[in-house]
C-alpha cells in the first residue's frame, strides 16, 4: 500500500493524482481487509467464543500437542535443509556458467507451479509400499511414507524455491566482484562464503528462511497425501485442524488459531528485523 502511494505521488501534485491515490489506497485496504483481516479475526473470535478455559483445554489435548510438536519438528528439519539448498543453488546460479543453467532455474521454480497434492503423489510413487524404492526400503526396515521422513520430504519439496528465489536475483544483481576481490586477497572458498557473500545476502536469506518456515508449518496438500492421518503420530497441525473440523468445530478453530499464531509470529519477526535494520535491508553497497 505504501508502495502504491509512493508510485502515485511521483506524479505532479495535481488533483487527479490525489484522487487516484486515495482510490487506490482505499481499494487495496478494502480488498485486504475483506479477504485477509476479517477472516483471520473471525478465526480468533470463533476459537474464543466458548471462553478461555475451553480454548486452553482444546489446545492442551495430547493429540493437538503432538501435532504441534510434529509440525515444529518437521519445520526444524525442512527449513535448514532448504536454507543450505537455497544457498548452494543461488551460489551456482549466480557465480558459475554451465550448460543447463536455465533448466536448473526452471526446476527450482517447479514446486511453485505443481499442485502440492501432486507433489505428495509423486513421493508415494517413489517411496510408497508399491513404489520404485518401496521394497528396498521395506527390506532395510525404513519407513518413509506415513512417517516423519515422508512428512519432511513432502515439506522440503513444496518449500524448495523459497530461499533460492529470494537469493538468486540479489546475488546475480550484486555480481561477483567482491568474491573475486576476496579471492585475489588470498581467501579460501569458505572464507569468501562466510566473510563476504553471507553478510551481503543475510537479510534476503532471513526473509527467505522465514517465508519458507511459514509455508512449511502451514503446508497441507502434500503432507495430507503422505501422512496417513494417525492422530498424535503423523498429524501435523494443518491436518489436525482438518480432522477436528469434521468432529468438533470449536476445537478445530482453537487449533487453527494456534497455527495462525505461529505463522503470524514468524512474519512478525520478519517485520521486526526489517524495522530494526531497515537501512541495511536493501543496502547492496
Partner 1 sequence: MGIEISRLRRRFGTFLALDDVSLSIGDGEFVAVLGPSGSGKSSLLRILAGLDQPDAGSVLRDGRDLLALDARRRGVGLVFQHYALFPHMTVAQNVAFGLRVRPWRVRPKAQAIKATVEDLLRRVELEGFVDRYPSQLSGGQRQRVALARALAIEPRLLLLDEPFGALDAQVRVNLRGWLREFHRSLGITTLFVTHDQDEALEMADRVVVMNRGRIEQIGAPEQVYRQPATPFVSRFIARGQRLPGEVRGQHLHLFGHAWRIENFAAADAHEVAVHVRPEDIVPAPVPGDGLTAQLLNLRHVAGSVRASLRVESWDEPLEAEWSERDWARCASAADDRLHVHLQAVTVFAMDRDGRVRLRSIVYPPYANSSIAVGPWRRIEA
Interface residues with partner 1 (CB under 8 A) are 177-178, 180-188, 191, 195-196, 199-200, 283-285
Give the torsion sign (CA, 226, 230, 233, 237): positive
Query: Cβ 273 to partner 1, closest distance in Å?
Result: 16
Which candidate, 152, 157, 128, 163, places its Cα nearest to that of 142?
Answer: 128
Residue number, 135 or 172, with CB nearest to partner 1 = 172
Residue number, 171 or 262, with CB nearest to partner 1 = 171
Helices (H), the chain: 2-9, 15-32, 38-47, 51-60, 62-95, 101-113, 116-127, 134-139, 148-158, 161-174, 177-184, 189-192, 198-218, 221-227, 237-245, 249-276, 278-281
Whole-angstrom distance, CA of residue 67 vs CA of residue 126:
26
Cell output for 48: 474464543
Whole-angstrom distance, CA of residue 106 vs CA of residue 99:
13
Query: Cβ 202 to partner 1, closest distance in Å?
Result: 9
Query: Cβ 193 to partner 1, closest distance in Å?
Result: 12
Residue number, 51 or 279, with CB nearest to partner 1 = 279
Query: Cβ 10 to partner 1, closest distance in Å?
Result: 25
Whole-angstrom distance, CA of residue 203 vs CA of residue 199:
8
Query: Cβ 177 to partner 1, closest distance in Å?
Result: 4
Whole-angstrom distance, CA of residue 60 vs CA of residue 196:
46
DSSP state of 11: S
Query: Cβ 203 to partner 1, closest distance in Å?
Result: 11
Residue number, 110 or 198, with CB nearest to partner 1 = 198
Whole-angstrom distance, CA of residue 181 vs CA of residue 196:
10
Residue number, 196 or 206, with CB nearest to partner 1 = 196
Residue number, 203 or 224, with CB nearest to partner 1 = 203
Amino acid at each position: 500500500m505504501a508502495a502504491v502511494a509512493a508510485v502515485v505521488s511521483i506524479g505532479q501534485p495535481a488533483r487527479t493524482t490525489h484522487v487516484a491515490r486515495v482510490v487506490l489506497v482505499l481499494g487495496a485496504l478494502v480488498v485486504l481487509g475483506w479477504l485477509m483481516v476479517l477472516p483471520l479475526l473471525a478465526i480468533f473470535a470463533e476459537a474464543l467464543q466458548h471462553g478461555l478455559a475451553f480454548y486452553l483445554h482444546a489446545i492442551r489435548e495430547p493429540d493437538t500437542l503432538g501435532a504441534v510438536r510434529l509440525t515444529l519438528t518437521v519445520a526444524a528439519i525442512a527449513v535448514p535443509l532448504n536454507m543450505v539448498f537455497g544457498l548452494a543453488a543461488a551460489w551456482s546460479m549466480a557465480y558459475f556458467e554451465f550448460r543447463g543453467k536455465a533448466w536448473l532455474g526452471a526446476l527450482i521454480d517447479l514446486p511453485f507451479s505443481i499442485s502440492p497434492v501432486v507433489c505428495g503423489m509423486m513421493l508415494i510413487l517413489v517411496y510408497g509400499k508399491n513404489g520404485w524404492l518401496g521394497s528396498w526400503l521395506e527390506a532395510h526396515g525404513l519407513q518413509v511414507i506415513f512417517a516423519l521422513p515422508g512428512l519432511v520430504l513432502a515439506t522440503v519439496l513444496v518449500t524448495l524455491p523459497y530461499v533460492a528465489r529470494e537469493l538468486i536475483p540479489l546475488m546475480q544483481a550484486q555480481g561477483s566482484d567482491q568474491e573475486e576481490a576476496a579471492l585475489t586477497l588470498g581467501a579460501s572458498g569458505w572464507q569468501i562464503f562466510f566473510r563476504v557473500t553471507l553478510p551481503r545476502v543475510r537479510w534476503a536469506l532471513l526473509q527467505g528462511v522465514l517465508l519458507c518456515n511459514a509455508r512449511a508449518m502451514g503446508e497441507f496438500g502434500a503432507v495430507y497425501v503422505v501422512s496417513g492421518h494417525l492422530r498424535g503420530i503423523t498429524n501435523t497441525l494443518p491436518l489436525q485442524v482438518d480432522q477436528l473440523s469434521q468432529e468438533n468445530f470449536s476445537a478445530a478453530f482453537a487449533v487453527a488459531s494456534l497455527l495462525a499464531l505461529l505463522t503470524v509470529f514468524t512474519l512478525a519477526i520478519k517485520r521486526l528485523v526489517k524495522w530494526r535494520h531497515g537501512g541495511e535491508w536493501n543496502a547492496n553497497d
